[in-house]
Amino acid sequence: MRYQVPVALLQETFDVLRGCGGGQRECQVLWTSWWADPHLICSVIHPRHRAHGGGFEIESEWINSVWLDLARRDQGIRVQIHTHPYEAFHSAVDDAYPILHHVGFLSLVIPDFARGAVSFDRAYLAEIVADGRWREIAPKDRLEII
């Protein structure tokens, strides 16, 4: 699936990643869309998490609350987005502990604690394929900024 990402939500994503990480800690946000219109990303969620310069972990209680909240809002998570301090890539931890393990789920990694341009430049996008592994895919093939 190719998702449409409103430019305002992309800006909000970078604002949250920069503000939370402060150029010193990694951070994650989630993009959701309505189940009735899954192609159009409609909100940015900032999970409760603890983080350091080289990683983050989402609070377990928060996952429960967002699972129920998504059901109330009739939305689903489509993409997880997190920062790395330097280069963007998918680490072994990124591979093993995503918030969703569904085929087609996307994980976008933003370099330099998101302090660069508000774009997918130097970003790394990975997608879960049928055998459960992640494969790199060009952002333009799955994400369209509108």
Of 145, 144, 146, give the one whose Cα is nearest residue 1.
144
* Through-space distance between the first and last CA atoms of the chain, rounded to whole angstroms: 16
Please tell me whether residue 46 binds other proteins under the rule CB under 8 A. Answer: no
Rounded to a whole number of angstroms, the minimum distance from the CB of residue 59 to other proteins is: 9
Residue of 94, 108, 124, 125 interacting with other proteins (CB under 8 A): 94
Q: Pick out residues in 14-43 that bind other proteins (CB under 8 A).
A: 26, 28, 32, 35
Stretch that binds other proteins, among 4-12, 15-23, 66-74, 138-146 (CB under 8 A): 66-74
Distance (Å, rounded) from C-alpha 146 to C-alpha 139?
14
Burial of 54 (0-12, 13-18, 19+ CB in 10 A): exposed
**Contact by Cβ (8 Å): 63, 77:** no
- Residue 64 is a binding residue for other proteins (CB under 8 A): yes
Distance CA 75, CA 42 (A): 9
Q: Would you tell me which residues interact with other proteins (CB under 8 A)?
A: 26, 28, 32, 35, 47, 51, 54-58, 60-61, 63-64, 67-68, 70-71, 73-77, 80, 82, 84-86, 91, 93-94, 96-104, 107, 128, 130-132
